[in-house]
């Protein structure tokens, strides 16, 4: 786990991004300023709304690599920086920072950007997210606006996996909220953070995205859903995905790839994404 987290940080901070698209600055209804990179799609090709994992930005290497690959293949790309409650956020958010946002707020921003795309382009929209970004895409309710969903390294919040939480802390947070302290800050073990700072309510909101909720959400999706998993993603503990049989859902396993599809896994991921997008057309 620790090794993966260090690799994530390195990928975040070191891997260059070559996305040369236009930067979009918008203001959410609550006044928070958000920004995104946008590259229009070639005719007859969809535009991909690409969502980064929790705390990251569109500079996250896996996201940036996917964005470049997509634009290189003529697909449109909108890569927003989710605000995470911070106006005009351009930097990743540290574990120890105050995480004042909830997944629902993040999903609202996804909806904001889907609407922005609807206003901006006629191209069909493919929603693509990585890790918790995939979870947030799955939470987007108005899937009818989408052509399809590509969920890469999909996670669930639970005692195991890339979005693991400590059950004891979960119990404590529940108890504390019940005692009338929903907004008290606490440091929690979440995902790769051992001291994820957030309020009890926010933490408990994250914790609702467990296996049951995710499987339920997958069952409810009406557009084609492609789940891409690395078969060496040890952080992935969703064995039930393999047994889950849904008519519009397809799971793609990439041999030898890890959670971040680093190394040669990145090319396999890109090829797979392009393959899926082309087949979808």
Partner 1 sequence: MIFRPSITQYSLVFIIITSIAFGVLGFAIYNEFTDLEHKIGSKQSAEAAMQLRQNLARLDRLIEDTARDIGDWQETRQQLAYPAYYEYWRDSRVISQSFYFSTIQAIELYNHTGKSLADHPREGMPKVLDQRSGYTIYAEGDEHSIFYSAPINSDRRGTIGYILLKIKLEKSLEDIFPIQGINMSSLRFDANAQYLPSLTQLVLIANYTTKVSEHAVALRNLVNENLYRSAALIVFLSVLFIVFAIVLIVNPIRKFAQHISGLESTPALSDNAQPCSFMLKELQLVCNSMEEYHLKISEMNADLDEKNRELWLQAHNDALTGVFNRRAFEMDWQHIETAIQGSRIDIAFMLIDCDRFKTLNDTYGHNIGDKVLIEISSSIQQCLRDGDKLYRLGGDEFATLFLDASKDEAAMIAQRCVEKVGSIDTTALGISEPLQVSIGLACTPATNIEHLHELHHQADTAMYQAKRPGKSKIAIYDDSMLNDSLVLLNNHITSTVHSAITTGESLELHFQAVVDCQSDKIDCYEVLVRINDSGQLMYPDKIFPVIHDRRVEVEFDTTVIKQLDRQLADKELPENAHLSINLSGLSILSSPMIERLLALANRHRQNQLCLEITETSLMNRLQQASENLEILREAGFEIMLDDFGNGYSSIRYLTRMPIDGVKFDISLVQTLNGKDKDAVIVESLAKMILEAGYRLVAEGIEDQEIYSRVREVGFTHAQGYYLHKPVSANALGQYVSKS
Examine residue 154 and tell whether it contacts partner 1 (CB under 8 A): no
- Euclidean distance between CA atoms 20 and 144, whole angstroms: 29
Contact between 223 and partner 1 (CB under 8 A)?
A: no
Q: How many residues does the chain have?
A: 281
Q: Give the pairing type, strands 125-130 and 185-190.
A: unpaired
Residue from 113, 130, 136 nearest 269 by CA: 130
CB atoms within 10 A of CB 176: 17
Query: Applying CB under 8 A, does 59 fall inside the site for partner 1?
Result: no
Residue span binding partner 1 (CB under 8 A) among the ranges 62-70, 82-90, 172-180, 254-262: 82-90
DSSP symbols for 81-108: E--TT-TT--S---TTS-B---HHHHHH
Q: Around Cβ 278, how many Cβ atoms within 10 Å? A: 11
Q: Tell me which H or E stretch contains 196.
A: strand 193-199
Candidates 28, 185, 244, 251; binder of partner 1 (CB under 8 A) is: 185
| Site stretch for partner 1 (CB under 8 A), options 85-93, 132-140, 204-212, 220-228 | 85-93
Q: Of 31 and 239, which has the nearer Cβ to partner 1?
A: 31
88 binds partner 1 (CB under 8 A): yes
Which residues sit opposite 251 in a β-bridge? 227
Using CB under 8 A as the binding rule, whether residue 97 contacts partner 1 is answered as yes
Question: Is there binding between residue 13 and partner 1 (CB under 8 A)?
Answer: no
Q: Smallest distance, Å, CB 162 to partner 1? A: 24
Interface residues with partner 1 (CB under 8 A)? 31-33, 85-91, 93, 96-98, 100, 183, 185, 197, 199
């Amino acid at each position: 786990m620790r090794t993966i987290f260090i690799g994530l940080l390195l990928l975040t901070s070191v891997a260059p991004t070559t996305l040369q698209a236009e930067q979009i600055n918008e203001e959410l209804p609550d006044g928070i300023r958000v920004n995104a990179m946008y590259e229009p799609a070639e005719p007859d090709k969809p535009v991909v709304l690409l969502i980064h994992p929790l705390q990251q930005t569109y500079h996250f290497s896996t996201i940036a690599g996917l964005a470049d690959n997509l634009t290189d293949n003529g697909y449109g790309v909108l890569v927003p920086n989710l605000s995470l409650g911070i106006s005009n956020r351009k930097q990743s958010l540290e574990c120890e920072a105050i995480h004042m946002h909830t997944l629902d707020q993040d999903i609202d921003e996804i909806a904001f950007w889907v609407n922005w795309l609807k206003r901006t382009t006629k191209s069909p929209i493919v929603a693509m997210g990585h890790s918790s970004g995939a979870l947030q895409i799955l939470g987007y309710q108005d899937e009818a606006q989408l052509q399809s969903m590509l969920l890469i390294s999909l996670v669930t919040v639970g005692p195991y996996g890339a979005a693991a939480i400590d059950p004891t802390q979960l119990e404590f947070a529940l108890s504390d909220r019940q005692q009338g302290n929903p907004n008290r800050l606490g440091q929690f073990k979440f995902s790769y953070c051992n001291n994820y700072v957030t309020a009890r309510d926010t933490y408990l909101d994250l914790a609702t995205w467990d296996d049951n909720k995710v499987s339920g959400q997958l069952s409810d999706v009406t557009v084609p859903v492609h789940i891409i998993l690395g078969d060496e993603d040890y952080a992935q503990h969703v064995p039930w995905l393999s047994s889950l049989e849904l008519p519009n859902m397809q799971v793609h396993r990439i041999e030898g790839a890890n959670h971040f599809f680093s190394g040669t896994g990145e090319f396999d991921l890109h090829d797979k994404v392009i393959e899926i997008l082309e087949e979808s057309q």
